Amino acid sequence: MKKHVLLLGMAALPLLTACLKNNPAGFPYTPPLRITDIKGRNNYAPGRDSIIITYNNAGNPIRIVRGETSTGSPSFQLRYDRQNRLRDIIGVYNGRENIGDYFEIWHRYHYDRYNQVIADTTYSFGVIGQQDPLPRPGQPAVTIGNIFSFSYDSQHRINRSSMEVGPVHTITTTWYYNSAGNAYRIHTRDVWHQPDSLPYPDTDRYPVYDNKVNFRRLHPVWQLIDLDYSRNNPFQATAYNIYGLPLDIPIHPKEYLNILGINSFSAIDEIKYAH
């Protein structure tokens, strides 16, 4: 089974910005650009793949549609609450995105009194409901998947994520930021809460950044769903636009890269922006 990773344009964001007034340093980035298209190659399906992003009138992304969908590689619907906060991200297959269709994964976000996301409850393989995920026919309840919890540093960046994979497995990730505003060290601890389980070694990643604008800073939703609050990009693009935003993303064959919640890309050849 393919690995699932998930777990959040700028000209018209007054409501979302108001809700996220405790923003990470550096957001929002100006000029007011939105990511609209991404093209690249797929790890699993031969040939090229793509992402098309659409926004609502408030400037918030509402659909992330990829050219090829399959198990582990869905498109996404994004729903917002009455306060214009991101509430749900629903993984769907192209052509089956309506109420009553099946979803692959559903993220439900929970907020604290500061309007910061503190938890993400995921549901697996259910039915798309008007407001909530529903169980498939014959299921007593919708299946709960991984449960994430988040904490923040003084600059309102996520600096710790804990993922509960069932009752006996916890994966904790901690981000350490330097004075340049980048996560120079990302530490992961994988623990099985069973007496007979073998310990997993802790791992550390030390990203290498460019000196340009992290394209995820164009919207707090991109920062949230990719868990990337760094000021610069953790890669060196071969080309940038006049605003310092990357136009492509090189991906090492042995590396895993999550782009706006979308996985399975072996290369990102083109990123388009619009006002």
Q: Decide which of 243 and 5 is more confident.
A: 243
C-alpha closest to that of 228 among 239, 219, 216, 238? 216
Please write the tens of the pLDDT for every residue from 229-273: 999 999 999 999 999 999 999 877 666 567 888 777 778 899 999
Residue 7: the pLDDT is: 37
DSSP per residue, 57-93: TTS-EEEEEESS-BTTB-EEEEEE-TTS-EEEEEEEB
* Number of neighbouring beta carbons within 10 Å of residue 41: 16
Reduce the DSSP state of residue 20 to 3 states and report it: coil
Residue 14: the pLDDT is: 33
Residue 182: the pLDDT is: 97
Residue 144: the pLDDT is: 93
Q: Decide which of 17 and 78 is more confident.
A: 78
Question: Token pair 């309840």 is at which residue?
Answer: 141
Please write the tens of the pLDDT for every residue from 21-62: 444 444 555 567 999 999 988 776 666 788 999 999 999 999
Share of the chain above pLDDT 70, in %: 84
Q: Decide which of 205 and 13 is more confident.
A: 205
Which sequence spans correspond to the domains of the chain? 10-146+211-274
Band the pLDDT of 9: cuts 50, 70, 90: very low
Mean pLDDT of the chain: 85
Please write the tens of the pLDDT for every residue from 180-229: 999 999 999 998 876 766 677 899 999 999 999 999 999 999 999 999 99
Are the beta carbons of 223 and 217 closer than 8 angstroms? Answer: yes
pTM attached to this predicted model = 0.85
Please write the tens of the pLDDT for every residue from 154-193: 999 999 999 998 778 899 999 999 999 999 999 999 988 7
**Which range among 4-13, 126-135, 191-200 shows the weakest confidence by mean pLDDT?**
4-13
Residue 3: the pLDDT is: 39
Share of the chain above pLDDT 90, in %: 65
DSSP code, position 96: B
Residue 12: the pLDDT is: 31
Residue 44: the pLDDT is: 67
